[in-house]
A and B are shown apart, each in its own frame.
Chain A
Amino acid sequence: MKIFVCIKQVPDAKDVRLDPKTNTLAREGVQSIMNPYDQHAVEEAVRLKELLGGEVTVLSMGPPQAEEVLRQAISCGADHAVLVSDRAFAGADTWATSYTLAKAVQVIGAFDLLLCGKQAIDGDTAQVGPGLAMRLQIPYVTCVQKVRQATDSGLILERMMDDGYDVLAVDFPALLTVVKDINEPRVPSLKGKMRAKKVEIRRLSAADIGADPACIGLPGSPTQVVKVFPPEARCKRAVFTGSLDEQIVQLVDSLQSYL
């Protein structure tokens, strides 16, 4: 059983702010972390490996420092790590990113299952997983909340819907995106940490994956950001006065239109 997991290094959300004066990202003290959903994807891959045997390969498209999250994944039980990195990938939107990852996957080799987090918390698009599956011409299931049954040939899954969930069956090869309900990621073992330090990370450039320059990075991106600005501040504010009981009356008065 060969399982690939796509992971992304993202800025920790609690640190990200636009400087109101300059309209630029305040960058002091911004920590980088493994995208939270991807931690669940790595965990699920390792669990399936423990159940069915095989190997887990993690890959990430990003700058050289994205190596950190690949090593973190190794410490949590992944076997191999691949960094897909090239200055030419900069400015990629989800279309160009899924192209790049698909090319990388084809170079890395055959697989049974590809796992991704539901979305990355910096862009929140949830588009790369489905895009990647389309390019690889394999079926996909998004927002998987539970693997009910796993065999050498396929899976039975629960996929989160807005009003409940669907139970689905899919054969390998397939791609899943996972939500955090699927599992509780483990804490890295000491042995895992040792391995993470020493493991050799394979590097793939744009040339290595045979990428068409017109399909990667900014030139390959159909969407372009034309403006970045801070969200409108919430302004209406009411302060109630008096005893708590009086304040409750005032509150319910204020909410009259919703009753």
Chain B
Amino acid sequence: MAQKTIAGKTIEVNDEGYMVDPSQWNREIAAEMAKEDGIELTEKHYEVLEFLRESSAKGETLTIRKVGKSGITDIKGLYQLFPGGPLKLSSKYAGIQKPASCV
């Protein structure tokens, strides 16, 4: 476990850079994290992040398909928002655990 200072706040992250405590999250942290990967967050991005945070808080298992059915954007749109790894990246910026998907 490591500490990281980002957007003026010190947060706990795991060795893959995922936040350990979702309550430490704020929008500025998300923006900084995304910027490190070269992504500029828009309102659409934040809608996805909020959806993920809510679903995760309810203990739901997250899949790309689920986010694609959320009404915010479809799966293709999700790939455009978070190129490369939509769920992995969006979960990271949302300050939640890396999705285990399946076991």
Are the chains A and B members of one assembly? Answer: no
Chain B residues engaging chain A, CB cutoff 8 angstroms: none
